[in-house]
Structure 1
Amino acid sequence: MGVKTYSDSNVATKYNFQRKAGRSLIERPAVFSPDGESVLVIVENVVRVYNIQTGDCARILETESSVNELVAIQFPDNENYNLYGCSDKGWVTTWTWENGAVLRETKLPIQLGMKVLTFNLLDSNECFVTTAKPDSKYIVYGLYSIKTGEKIFEFWDTKILYIENMINVAVGWCNGDRFAAITNGTPKLSIQNLNQPHVKQFIINSNKIRIMSVAAHKKENTVAITDALGRTTVFRGNFYQYGTNLAREVLHWHFLPSIAVCFSMQGSYLYTGGMEKVLVKWTVGNLANKAGEKMFIPRLPGMIRHIATSNSYIAATLTNNSIVIANAQMRVVSTILECGGLSPAARALGFPLVHHARLGGLLLGGRSGHLQLYSTTTDKVLYNIDITGLNNIPPLRHNLVPLDTEVTCAAVSGNGSWLATSEYRNDGVTYPEERLKFWAFQVKNATPFKLNTCVNLSHGGCRVVSIALSTKGETCVTAGVDQKFRIWKRDNTTQQHRKKESWSCLTACYYSSGIGQFLAHGVMNHFKNGELPPRDKEHPYVFEYEGKNDIIKKMVNIHKENSLLDEISANPGIKKDVENDMGGVAISQDGSLIAAWFGSKLTLWDTHLCNLRTTLSHPALRPKGVHVKFGNKDAAHYLVCATEKCVAVWSLLSLTIKWLVSISATSLAADPLSNKMALTTTNNDVYVFTPHSPTPILTQKRLLDPATGVFKQCAFGSCSGDDIRLHVVRNDSEIYSLEPEQSSEGRLEVLSRRNLPISGFSALLAEQRLSEVRPAASADVSALHTDALAHSAMSQLLSAAPHMIPPVSLLCTSFLHHIAGHEDTEPAAAEDNDIMEVDLSSDDEDQPTTKLNGPYAPKTTQLWAPNYEKVKEKRLQKIVKEPLLNLHETTDIFGV
C-alpha cells in the first residue's frame, strides 16, 4: 500500500486565519440614511451600509483611530450630509456621507476606566453621553462638545442605578427645551432638562412595573415607554409637573415583556415589539378616524431588540442576528442576515457543522428549527432551510425561556446526495418530541433539499447525539441517549410504475441492555402519572430587578447568554450512566464497518450482518469517548478516536494503538478527499495531521484567546492539491477560516476569452485555411508570413490543455522537429535543389513553398515528376544520422 508522505524539503505554505462570518448585527439599533435608500448597521468597530432593496452591503465606514467598539451612530436633524459616531472609549468620529471619508475625530474627556453606554446628538455641535465603570453602582451623564471635545456640563445630582445592558436614553423636546429620558430596567423613568440642569423629574410606572424601553417624539411633548407586563404607555404634556399636567394613554397587546419602542418620523404612529416575535404598529397621532388602530407583522424569526424608522421604512433588529426591513404598509421588503442567532436550547443541545461540497457551503445551526447554508465563496447565507416545519412556540410568563424544537445533529453523505437531520424538544412537562429526517439533494428547485423520509420517535423520544452517513448515501447510523445506535438502509421500491427511495431501520444495536436509562426518564414517568410541576402565580421579575439572575436581563441578551443553558442541558429526570453512554459514531470509507462509542469502549460492528466484531479499550480512553472518525484514502485502515483528554489512532489490521497523544480535543474532522484530519483543542489550537504519524502537518497555536470563546466545531473545505482549508466555529456563530495565503507568484494570467479559439489545434487549422485565400506574393514574403503563422500556431498549441491536443501520431514530422528545436545542417544549395522536389508524405522537411498545393496554389509552367527513390534514400540517411526527436528537449517542454 502506498503512503503519501509530506517531506520537509517542500516549501512551507503560509496560512491565514481570519474571521469570515458571525459578527453581531444586533448590539445597536440601525440607522436609516437621509435619502432613505440605505440602512446603517454598527458591526463591532465599523459601520456597514446596506442597500434596502437588495440587502447587500454597499460599503463600509471605518475610523482612523483604532477603536474597540462603536456605541452609536446618528445623523443630526438639521443636516443630512455628515454622520457622527462614538466609540466606547469616547472617540467621536465624523464621516462625510457622500464618500465616507473621515472628516474629524474628537476625543471626549472620559475618565480612565469609564465606558460610554449611550450617545445622543442634540445638534451638530453638542451631544449627550452616559458613562459608567464595569463595577460602578451609578451612571454618569453629561453634555459634551463634538467639535472641541470639551465637557459642557456634567449632571452629578441625579443618582441612576447602573444595570448593565439595560440603560436606554431618548432625547426629545418639552416646552422648547431639550430633555433626556433615561430608563435602567426599574419602575422609575428619569426626565432631565438639558438646558436647565436643576429641572428634573422622576415618573413611576403604574403598579410599579419595570420599564423596559423608552422613545421620545421628535417635535411634540410626548414620550412612550414599555414595561415588563407588555404594556405601552404614552405620556403627553409637561413632564416636569407629574400628576397635574401630564396625560397618560395605555396601549396593551403584548402578553410578554416588550423591549423595543420607536415613534415614526412624524410621530403619528408608534412601533413596539418584544418576546412574542411580532411587530405592532399603533396609531397614536391626530388621526381621529384611525385612533387605536393596530397593524402587525407576525411570525418574525426572532425576538425584537431594537426598532428604527424613516419616512418610508421600518427596521426591526431581531435576536437571530438579522434585521427585517418593512415598508409603511407593514410588508417585509428585505432581510439583512448574518450567521448566528442560536437559541439557548440549540446551544445546550448542540448544533451541527457540515461542509457540503456540491453546494460549496457550510450547513450550520441557525434560528429555531432551521439550518443555514453559508457560502464560503461569497460569504453570504444562501438558504435558511426549515427542518422542523413548525411554528415557533411563544414562551409563558412563568417561563420566559423559549423551548422550540431544535435541530441537534446533521450529516451529509460523501457524494452530497443525502442529508440526515435529527430534531428534539423537551420542556420537562409533555412527552419529548424527537424526529429523524432524510433529505434528498435536488439541483433545480427553490430549496437545495427535499424531504424524503420522516421517522417520529426514532429513538423512543431520546435525543440523538451523533449521525453518520456512508459515502454513497446508502447507510446511516444514529446514536441516542437511550444507549443504542440504529442502522438505517435506503431501499428502492416501485409504486405505480414509479421508482421510489425511502429509508427504513434495519436494526438497533446496544452494548448493554439499552433500556435502563429509557425507563428511568423522569419526564416520561411524570407524563404517564399525570404529574405536572407547580407554577408560581406571581412573577417577581415583573416588579423587581433580581441581580445577576434577572431573567429579563438574560432574555434581552439571549443571543449571547450562556447561563440559561444549565436547566436545558441538565435534561431533568434522566439517570446518568457514563459507563455506557453513547458517543460519536462513524462509517468506514467502504461502508463495511461501523465504529461506535459506548462509554470508554470503542466497538466495531459489521454493517451488513449487524453483529459486534470486536471491542477496543485502553485505560487512557476513560471515562468516556466523544469523537471517532475513520481514515480515508491510504489511511482507510486506521481509526481515530478522541476523548476529552487524549487522541488515539487504532490500526484495524492489528487492532492495536498506533500512537496516542494527550490533548484536550473539542472537535475532530476528517477530509473525505484526502487522508488528512484536523482537531481543535480547548486552548484554541488547531492541528492537521494524518493517521500515519503523530507529527502534525500543520500546527496553529492559540489562534484566539480561550477566555472569549472556544472552538466547538471544525470541518474541511474544498481545496486543491495538498493545501488545507479548514473552517472552525467559535461561540456558536463566529465562523473562522484557515486557508492558504494567496501570492502573486502562483497566480495565472487572466486572458480574455473573447478572441480565443475553441482549442489550440483549431487555431492551427484556422491559420491554414486562411492562408489558402490569401493573394499570391513573392517567395520571401510568403515565407515570412508562414513562419509567423507557424510560431503563433505552435505557441497556442503548447498553451492548450493536454486533453485538447491531438495524438502525436497525427502531427507532422516537421512540426515535431520544430518543437524539438531541430536545426537543418544541410547546405543552402541542397535546399535550393529540393525546392522543386515534391514529397507526397508528411515526414519531409518543412518547406513553406511546397505546402501551397490545392486549387489556390500558384500556377507554374515547369513540368516535374516525383522521384521516389531519391526521397526514400534521403529519408533513410536522415534517420541513420540523426534521431527523430531530441528526447532531452522534449522532456523539458512537456515536463515528463
Structure 2
Amino acid sequence: MIRGGSSYISSPPAFSNDAKRLLVCTANTVSIFSTSTALQVASLEGHTAAVTSVIVVPGTKVLCYCWTASLDGTIRYWDFSVPELLKTLDVKMPIFSMVIPSIVGQPAESNEKLTDVFAYLSIEDKKVQENRPKAMHGQIRKCNLTASRMVGGLILKETPQPEFITVSSSGKFFGIRNKRKLHVWSVPAIDSGRSLAKKITLHHSKTLSVLAFHPTERIVAAGDVTGRILVWRGFGYRTFSTGDELVNKEEEHPGVRGNDDADSCSTWHWHSAEVKVLSFSSDGAYLYSGGKEGVLVVWQLDTGKKKFLPRIGSPLLCFTDSPDPTLSSISCADNLIHMLEMPSMDILKTISGIKLPHSFPGRYEGLSSGFAFDYTSGLVALRTESYGIQFYSLFDDHGMYEVQVCERNHQPGDEISVVVILVALSQDGSMMSTVEVKLPEEGIGGLVCLKFWALGSENKKFTLSTVIYEPHRDAGISAVAFHPTRHMAVSSSYGGDFKVWVCNDEIHQKGQTLQNSGWACLAVGAYKKKPMTAAAFSLDGSVLAVAAETVITLWDPDKNVLLAVIGETFSPIVTLSFAGKSEYLVSVSRDPKPQLSVWNMSKLSLSWSYRLHIEAVACAVDLLSFAVLALLPESSMCTESNESMSQGRDGAILLFNVMDPVPVASWSVRKAKGGGLSFLQGNPSFLEENISDGNAPKELLVYVNGDHEYVLFDPYSNEANEVSMARRKGLVELEETGQVGYASIYGELPEFKRNQTSLVPSVPSERPWETIFSGSSHNLPPLTKLCAAFLESLMEKRTAAVE
C-alpha cells in the first residue's frame, strides 16, 4: 500500500548540517531528499497530523538530529540518519509554528553545555469561547523541551489566529506579524523557565505578510500585502538595552512611526503584489524577496540596488539558506522546490511534487479535476495552472515530466485566457489527446482546439502530432476516448454530434510510405440532434457507446452504423464505462437527479441502479469488477459519529461486482470532491516489497482526492480495510560519496544476508571476527561482551591429543 502526492510547500524546509539532505514537511511525515539527486532517500513517520515545523540541531556533519512539531499537538526529536524517533513531547494543542532560539546559530560544543532547551510555540487554543467580543485563538507559548513540559501560565502573546514565528540566525530575537504590527522578542541571554522575553512592537500602515532578521545586526525587514518592503534599523536599543549601552532618546528616527523603538525605517518597492518571501543572506549583505511575480529579487542592503532571477514560472513562497553558502532552496506555489547555486542563482536540481489543484474561470469553475491514468506504467496525467499536463509516477511519488499544451509566460495578475478542459490517454499510454478552450473576450473570439500527441520512442515524452481547430464547429467537446487496440479516437460534442478520428497509420495505402503521422476524421454521427455528453469504446473496440443526453446509443465504429439505443435516465449522462469484459455498461448521471446505472449489453436493459452522486468510475480490465467514488450527502454525514465527522470523511469508494448491486467492499475517504479513481497494472517492484503470501494482484486501485493526495492499494486484500496507507518502501539510496552517521566513524557495515527458506540450523563460524560487528549500531551488544569475544577470536586454538 502506497500513499503520496503530498504538498511540499506547506511549511519551510530545513537543510542538514552537511547540506546534502533537505528535510521537507509532507503531510504527516517529513520526507528527506538528497540535494545532489533531488530524490527521496528516507522519511520520518510518526505524527498523526500535518507536520508544521522541522528544525535541524546544529552540530558536526556527522550528527543528524532534528525537532519536529505538528498539528497533532506533539513535538518529536529524531535521529534522521537512521531514521529513529528518540523523544516525544505532547503539548495537547495544535502547533502551527515552532522555533528553538537557544540552539540556532550556536556551536555544537555550546549546545552540549545547555542545561535546558526552550522552544517558543505558536499554538491554537480551541477552548477559547466564541462568544467573546474578540476571540483570540492564537497564542505564543514557551515550552521546556528538556523537561518535556510547557512553562505553566506563561502566554507571551494572544492573536486572533495562530501566526508563523520567525527567529534570527543568531538566536537572539524572534518575532511574528499581527495585522499591521510586528512583535519582536529578545531572548534572555540565560534562558530559563522563569526568565521573560522582552517585547517591542513596530507599526505599519498596511497589513504585513512576512518578516526576516539580519544575521548579525539589529535590522528587521518586513513585507506587506501591497508589495512594499520595510527595513527597520537599530530596533530595540531602548527596550532591550543593558546598563552598559548608551541610548540617546532625543535623537530623530527618520521613517519610524510614533514611538516605535528603532533608529530608522526605510521603504523599498518593486513587487506589484503581496511579498511572500523575505530572507537575508548568510553574510547580511543582501536581502532576498519574492512573491506572486515568480521573480527572486536580490537587494543590496547598503545601496538598495537589486538584481533578479526571473522566469521561475510560479509564485514564490519560501527561501531557505543552507550551511553551505553555495547552496540554497526556493519553494514555489506549484509544489516545486528548486536547488539554487549561490551566488549565481542557477537552478541545479528540482524536487517535483504533484501539481496542486487550481480554480477555473467563469462557466468552467465546476469543472472536474480530469485525471487520466496510464494503466501499464502507473502514471497519472493531470492539468496544471500553466496550461500544461504533468505526468506523475504513482509508484515512485515524484514528477516525471510536463507537456506544455499551449505556451504561457507567468505574469502576475494576468487573466486566464485559456482553459485545458480535457485530457485522455490510450490504454497502452502511447497516445494522448487534449482539449483546450480559448475564452472569448467580451463574448467574441472563443476557440475550441483538439490536439493529438504521440509518445516518443527514445525520450518517452509526448510530442504534438495534430492540431484540429473547432472540431465540432463552435460547440464544446464533452468527452474524448481512445480505441483500446487501434490508433482511433472519438470526440463527442454538446453541439449534437460525435466524430471518429483515425491516425493515418490506420489508413493502408499500397505502395505508399507515410512520412508523418497525423489524425483525420473518419466518420460523423448524431442522434436526434441531442447533445452528445459522453463516449466510450468496448474492451475489444467493436462497439462504441455514445450518450445522447439521457439515452445511450451503440454504434459500429468501423461502419458508423447505429446498432441500438438503450435508456433512459432522469438526468444527462456524464460518464460511460464498459465493465465485466464489456458485458455490462456503467453510466453516471449528475444534477439534478444523480444516478449510477449498470446496463446489461446482452439484454440491452437496465440491470440495477442507485441514486448516488458519483465523482469517478474505474473498471477492471480482466475482472467483473468496477469501483466508484461517491460523495456522501450532507444528511448522511450529519448522522455519522462525532469521530467520523471530525475526520472529515465526505466520500466513499464502493467496489462492485457488475452482476450484484451489493458492494463487495467499501472505504470511507476524505476530500472526495474533485477526486479520481482508476485500476492500474501491478508494478513488479511494488509486488516484491508488499506481497508476502505470494498471491500477487493483477490490478491495483488508486484513489486521488481533491487535493491531489493519493492512495494505491490492493482492493481485493483483507488488509485494505481503510484508506490511510503506510508510506511506500524502497526509497532511493543516498547517492553521495560522503558518509554520515555510523558509517562515517566505523566504516561501512558488511552486507548481512539471511536465507529465509533454509532449514539448516546455524553453526558458529570458525572466523567470528568477520561478522562480530555486523548489524545496526543501535542493536550491537555492549562492549564488555564484544571485547571478550573479539579477543578470544584472535587467540590461536590448539587441539590437545587424547592419550
TM-score (norm 2): 0.71
Q: 1:70 aligns with which of 51, 56, 63?
A: 51
Q: Is the 8 A contact 1:350 1:409 kept in 2?
A: no
Q: 1:281 aligns with which of 295, 298, 304?
A: 298
Q: Is the 8 A contact 2:336 2:353 kept in 1?
A: yes
CA–CA separation in structure 2 for the residues paired with 1:248 and 1:51: 40
Aligned length: 627
Deviation string, structure 1 residues 800-830 (Cα, Å, up to 9, x no partner): xxxxxxxxxxxxxxxxxxxxxxxxxxxxxxx
Deviation string, structure 1 residues 149-184 (Cα, Å, up to 9, x no partner): 34448665855332x6xx2322239xx993332114
Q: Structure 1 residues 213, 677: CA separation in 2 closer, same or farther (over 3 Å shift)?
A: same
Which residue is equivalent to 2:273? 256
Which residue is equivalent to 1:139? 138
Q: Is the 8 A contact 1:686 1:699 kept in 2?
A: no
Which residue is equivalent to 2:318? 306
Q: 1:647 aligns with which of 587, 596, 599?
A: 596
How far does residue 307 in structure 1 lie from its aligned partner after superposition? 1.7
Q: 2:217 aligns with which of 204, 217, 220?
A: 220
CA–CA separation in structure 2 for the residues paired with 1:200 and 1:680: 52
Q: Structure 1 residues 607, 374: CA separation in 2 closer, same or farther (over 3 Å shift)?
A: same
Q: Is the 8 A contact 2:657 2:664 kept in 1?
A: no
> Who wins on radius of gyration, i.e. which is larger?
1
CA–CA separation in structure 2 for the residues paired with 1:357 and 1:418: 13
Give runs of aligned pairs for residues 568-583 of structure 1, distance below 5 A. Answer: 582-583=532-533
Which residue is equivalent to 2:783? none
Which residue is equivalent to 2:37? 54
Q: 1:315 aligns with which of 329, 332, 339?
A: 329
CA–CA separation in structure 2 for the residues paired with 1:742 and 1:603: 39
Q: Structure 1 residues 462, 281: CA separation in 2 closer, same or farther (over 3 Å shift)?
A: farther
Which residue is equivalent to 1:813? none
Which residue is equivalent to 2:741? none
Q: Give 3-state SS (helix, strand or coil) of 1:374's partner.
A: strand
The Cα RMSD (Å) is 3.4
Give runs of aligned pairs for residues 541-580 of structure 1, distance below 5 A. Answer: none
Which residue is equivalent to 2:711? 736
User: Is the aligned partner of 1:454 residue 2:467?
Assistant: yes
Give runs of aligned pairs for residues 217-616 of structure 1, distance below 5 A. Answer: 217-239=214-236, 242-243=256-257, 245-284=262-301, 292-300=305-313, 302-310=314-322, 311-328=325-342, 329-345=344-360, 348-396=366-414, 403=416, 405-426=418-439, 429=442, 431-445=445-459, 447-460=460-473, 463-492=476-505, 498-506=514-522, 508-511=524-527, 513=529, 582-610=532-560, 612-616=562-566
Q: Is the 8 A contact 1:349 1:408 kept in 2?
A: yes
Q: Which has the higher helix share?
A: 1
Counterpart residue type for residue 190 of structure 1 = H
CA–CA separation in structure 2 for the residues paired with 1:142 and 1:358: 52
Q: Which runs of 5+ in 1 are unaligned?
A: 1-17, 397-401, 514-579, 744-896
Which residue is equivalent to 1:636? 582
CA–CA separation in structure 2 for the residues paired with 1:728 and 1:107: 32
Q: Give 3-state SS (helix, strand or coil) of 1:488's partner.
A: strand
Q: Give 3-state SS (helix, strand or coil) of 2:159's partner.
A: coil
Q: Structure 1 residues 76, 442: CA separation in 2 closer, same or farther (over 3 Å shift)?
A: closer
CA–CA separation in structure 2 for the residues paired with 1:138 and 1:676: 49
Deviation string, structure 1 residues 670-697 (Cα, Å, up to 9, x no partner): 3345554332322444344454x1256x
Which residue is equivalent to 1:559? none
Q: Give 3-state SS (helix, strand or coil) of 2:667's partner.
A: coil
Q: Structure 1 residues 93, 511: CA separation in 2 closer, same or farther (over 3 Å shift)?
A: same
Counterpart residue type for residue 649 of structure 1 = V
Q: Is the 8 A contact 1:342 1:732 kept in 2?
A: yes
CA–CA separation in structure 1 for the residues paired with 2:680 and 2:379: 8
CA–CA separation in structure 2 for the residues paired with 1:676 and 1:102: 42
Q: Structure 1 residues 307, 709: CA separation in 2 closer, same or farther (over 3 Å shift)?
A: farther
Q: Structure 1 residues 391, 613: CA separation in 2 closer, same or farther (over 3 Å shift)?
A: farther
Q: 1:120 aligns with which of 92, 96, 99?
A: 99
Q: 1:694 aligns with which of 660, 674, 685?
A: 660
Q: Is the 8 A contact 1:212 1:226 kept in 2?
A: yes
Give runs of aligned pairs for residues 24-173 of structure 1, distance below 5 A. Answer: 24-63=7-46, 67-76=48-57, 81=63, 82-96=65-79, 98-108=81-91, 114-124=93-103, 125-133=117-125, 136-152=135-151, 159-162=158-161, 167-172=163-168
Give runs of aligned pairs for residues 181-192 of structure 1, distance below 5 A. Answer: 181-184=175-178, 186-192=179-185
Q: Is the 8 A contact 1:393 1:403 kept in 2?
A: no
CA–CA separation in structure 2 for the residues paired with 1:30 and 1:583: 45
How far does residue 213 in structure 1 lie from its aligned partner after superposition? 0.9
Deviation string, structure 1 residues 203-240 (Cα, Å, up to 9, x no partner): 222xx222111111222111111111222222211246
Q: Is the 8 A contact 1:355 1:715 kept in 2?
A: yes
Q: Which has the higher strand share?
A: 2
CA–CA separation in structure 2 for the residues paired with 1:511 and 1:425: 28
Deviation string, structure 1 residues 515-542 (Cα, Å, up to 9, x no partner): xxxxxxxxxxxxxxxxxxxxxxxxxxxx
Q: Give 3-state SS (helix, strand or coil) of 1:344's partner.
A: coil
Q: Is the 8 A contact 2:232 2:262 kept in 1?
A: no
CA–CA separation in structure 2 for the residues paired with 1:616 and 1:177: 73
Q: Is the 8 A contact 2:23 2:31 kept in 1?
A: yes
CA–CA separation in structure 2 for the residues paired with 1:393 and 1:486: 37
How far does residue 335 in structure 1 lie from its aligned partner after superposition? 1.1
Which residue is equivalent to 2:647? none
CA–CA separation in structure 2 for the residues paired with 1:59 and 1:585: 43
Q: Give 3-state SS (helix, strand or coil) of 1:500's partner.
A: coil
CA–CA separation in structure 2 for the residues paired with 1:677 and 1:96: 44
Q: 1:665 aligns with which of 586, 590, 614?
A: 614
Q: Give 3-state SS (helix, strand or coil) of 1:352's partner.
A: coil
CA–CA separation in structure 2 for the residues paired with 1:150 and 1:722: 48
How far does residue 199 in structure 1 lie from its aligned partner after superposition? 4.7
Q: Is the 8 A contact 1:647 1:663 kept in 2?
A: yes
How far does residue 296 in structure 1 lie from its aligned partner after superposition? 0.9
Give runs of aligned pairs for residues 4-43 of structure 1, distance below 5 A. Answer: 18-43=1-26
CA–CA separation in structure 2 for the residues paired with 1:353 and 1:309: 36
Q: Which runs of 5+ in 2 are unaligned?
A: 104-116, 189-194, 239-255, 633-650, 683-694, 720-803
How far does residue 197 in structure 1 lie from its aligned partner after superposition? 5.2
CA–CA separation in structure 2 for the residues paired with 1:233 and 1:703: 49
CA–CA separation in structure 2 for the residues paired with 1:88 and 1:354: 33
How far does residue 586 in structure 1 lie from its aligned partner after superposition? 1.1
Q: Is the 8 A contact 1:169 1:214 kept in 2?
A: no
CA–CA separation in structure 2 for the residues paired with 1:246 and 1:76: 34
CA–CA separation in structure 2 for the residues paired with 1:393 and 1:119: 34
CA–CA separation in structure 2 for the residues paired with 1:139 and 1:631: 52
Q: Structure 1 residues 728, 236: CA separation in 2 closer, same or farther (over 3 Å shift)?
A: same
How far does residue 37 in structure 1 lie from its aligned partner after superposition? 1.4
Counterpart residue type for residue 350 of structure 2 = T
